[in-house]
Amino acid sequence: MTGNDQRATDLARDDMRPGEKTVELPMRQDAHLLFIGRISTPWKSRDECPRQGKHDGPLCTIEVFEPWQDALRGLEHFQQVEVLYWLDRSRRDLVLQNPARDGTLRGTFALRSPARPNPIGTSMAKLVEIGEGRLVVQGLDCVDGTPLIDLKPNRCEFTPLAVMKPGKGKAE
Amino acid sequence: MTGNDQRATDLARDDMRPGEKTVELPMRQDAHLLFIGRISTPWKSRDECPRQGKHDGPLCTIEVFEPWQDALRGLEHFQQVEVLYWLDRSRRDLVLQNPARDGTLRGTFALRSPARPNPIGTSMAKLVEIGEGRLVVQGLDCVDGTPLIDLKPNRCEFTPLAVMKPGKGKAE
């Protein structure tokens, strides 16, 4: 099965379940994203993915494309990295979902389902190894080949480095 | 000062600091975002914003636009909500930054700076109140008027509801 075939299968899997509500999406585009890398995981389809990544889970590799590899400098000082990625196999028009298929409807914003108006996934991954344009992490749950959109240091470990702001005693 | 004037001032503030490195951004657009709401905070410019929001900080209001208000159903069961927003006043071409203006260069992905190739901010906010298309939260640090792109329940409080997957003992 090619990547495109798998993508079509995954989209078909998003067929409506009883009671789910969709909306008509606006045709406008308010901002655009650049895919800056690619995530390799052991899971070839959404059905294989775990529901939530675990920090003792399988090793996953994040490849950062040029021209962004220099932007990794200093990330090795952190134990955890927040990973943002684009859930490119998801429908975007569901506002009420029936995740347990039991008729209980939940709003999309009360779920971490990949189906959402802006299908961005976020995970706090454990940083195992970092090299030239490449990270090895644990704790992801996305499908193999998922496009990367951002990496950030864990906000809990993070101390802002920016200069003092006028009128404030110290940098916040 | 109008919103547009302030936006221009904020962008100008992003002028290069010593040693910073930019790259030429690809002209392509790999995916598009929809702004699904608007965040109101006490801070009218980036200079006024705190470096990191705190859960005992000022109350901020998140307005969710139609047609997405139904998608809030069930979010009231969570104490914390992950907020994703678009940092629309940020330059996107910096790979090395000099945040402390002391010559120490850090990669963009080792910083939580708003300047990044895909300027998406993420915060874990404390949910104070939720009503018709409107949330009151604490813990944000973004500028007034920031476009909302997603809301998700805190992954730590979250138990996936989806059905069992084939071949697995229980839902993960």
Asked if B111 and B85 count as a contact pair (C-beta separation under 8 A), the reply is no
CA neighbours closer than 13 Å in the CB half-sphere of residue A78: 28
CB of B129 less than 8 A from some CB of A: no
For residue B168, pLDDT over 60 is answered with no
CA distance B143 to B60: 10
pLDDT digits (tens, 9 = 90+) for A23-54: 999 999 999 999 999 999 999 998 899 988 99
Percent of chain A with pLDDT over 90: 73
| Structural domains in chain A plus CATH codes | 30-153 (2.40.30.70)
Higher-confidence position of A38 and B161:
A38
Residue A7 is predicted with a pLDDT of 63
Q: What is the predicted ipTM?
A: 0.88
Cα angle A64-A70-A72, degrees, rounded to a multiple of 5: 65
For residue B170, pLDDT over 60 is answered with no
CA distance B64 to B151: 10
Residue stretches of chain A with pLDDT short of 50: 1, 166-172
Percent of chain B with pLDDT over 70: 83
CA distance B60 to A165: 21
Asked if the Cβ–Cβ distance from A84 to B112 is below 8 Å, we say no
Residue B110 is predicted with a pLDDT of 96
Higher-confidence position of A155 and B30:
B30
pLDDT digits (tens, 9 = 90+) for A1-19: 455 556 655 655 567 888 9
CA distance B71 to B147: 17
Contact list, B169 vs chain A (CB under 8 Å): none
* Helix (H) or strand (E) segment spanning residue B3: helix B3-13
Residue identified by tokens 């000062």 is B1
Of residues B79, B89, B78, the one with CA closest to residue B45? B89
Joined tokens for residue B148: 């909302």
Residue A58 is predicted with a pLDDT of 97
Of residues A18, A46, A35, A22, the one with CA closest to residue A141? A46
Residue identified by tokens 């813990």 is B139
- Average pLDDT along chain B: 88
CB < 8 Å from A in window 87-116 of B: 88, 92, 95-96, 99-101, 104-113, 116
For residue B5, pLDDT over 50 is answered with yes
| Interface-testing mutation among A105, A118, A159, with chain B (most B C-beta atoms within 10 A) | A118
Measured torsion, CA atoms of residues B124, B157, A145, A132, in degrees rounded to the nearest 10: 60
Contact list, A21 vs chain B (CB under 8 Å): 70
